[in-house]
Amino acid sequence: MHDRSITGPTYFEDYSEKYKEFFKMTRCDGIIEVRFHTNDDSFHFGWPAQTAYGHVWSDIGRDPENEVMILTGTGDMWQTANPTIWNVKFMDWPKDQKLSFYHETVRMIENLIYCIDIPTIGAINGNGSHWLLGAACDITLCTDDTSFFDPHYMGGIPPGDGIAMALQHIMGVKRAAWYAYTGESISAAEALKLGLVNEVLPRADLNNHAWELAKTIMLAPRSTRHLTHSIVSRPWKKMLVEDQGFNAAHQLFDMSIDEEGLLERVMKLRSRFQKLEE
């Protein structure tokens, strides 16, 4: 009988059920696939999902039966985000909700890096928000029609949720500054040249290749897998300690004094955002 005490490990049958609204999970021979979805189609981001992010990484990481994680999406999009979630200006949010949002913004990527001690593969299946979750995995694959961009500055807020930080970490400060200020899209081919992804694949091949790669990783001893992950993820951990709280605080401070509101501004620029997402 499994020990369900709060100090014991987590169990796949528990957390896969708990998060099923946001993540479809399958596991075979120690390889766990975590697939974003909304009603079996591309994932629609919202505030409940923002909360779920930080918790799901912790639960997956506390299950000793997980040995390699594949993180991917459903359908043609990695994630979508409807700007109407900002129908209440952030400056008008209650103070406690603002504080919770700060913590959840930080945990979204922090818990992915700190709570999961096994090799990770990001298999980015198309355009969409929060692509940094796939880019922060040990190995990152993407489809040949994927493009990457940072929408924050062109939407009138500082890029503090982690995208600009990831770009600085991966491709250097000058290139990151360019993409932060311009919002210019990075094609899959360019992302490969810049080191943002490791491989670019046809959509039909993405999932199978991720699983083949995971099976190859599984050939090494367990201790080798875990400790190699510790080595390759250490630069991310150092970056999070040094920069993440600083960046998030700057973004949220600006949003707290923004009288126009993100939704109003994004709706004015909607055609520009749609062009970048195509």
pLDDT tier, 268 (very low <50, low <70, confident <90, very high otherwise):
confident
Residue 2 falls inside a structural domain: no
* Any domain includes 6: no
Q: Give 153-179 pLDDT, tens digit per residue.
A: 988 999 999 999 999 999 999 999 999
- What are the pLDDT digits (tens) for 45-59? 999 998 999 899 999
What's the whole-number average pLDDT of the chain? Answer: 92
Under 8 Å between Cβ of 164 and 181: no
246 in a structural domain: yes
Range of the structural domain that residue 179 is part of: 12-208+220-277
In a domain, 79, yes or no: yes
Domain count of the fold of the chain: 1
Work out the number of other CB atoms within 10 angstroms of the CB of residue 31: 22
What pLDDT, on a 0 to 100 scale, did the predictor assign at position 1? 45
In a domain, 214, yes or no: no
Domain CATH code at residue 96: 3.90.226.10
Q: Is 1 a domain residue? A: no
Residue 194 within a domain: yes
The answer as to whether 94 is a domain residue is yes
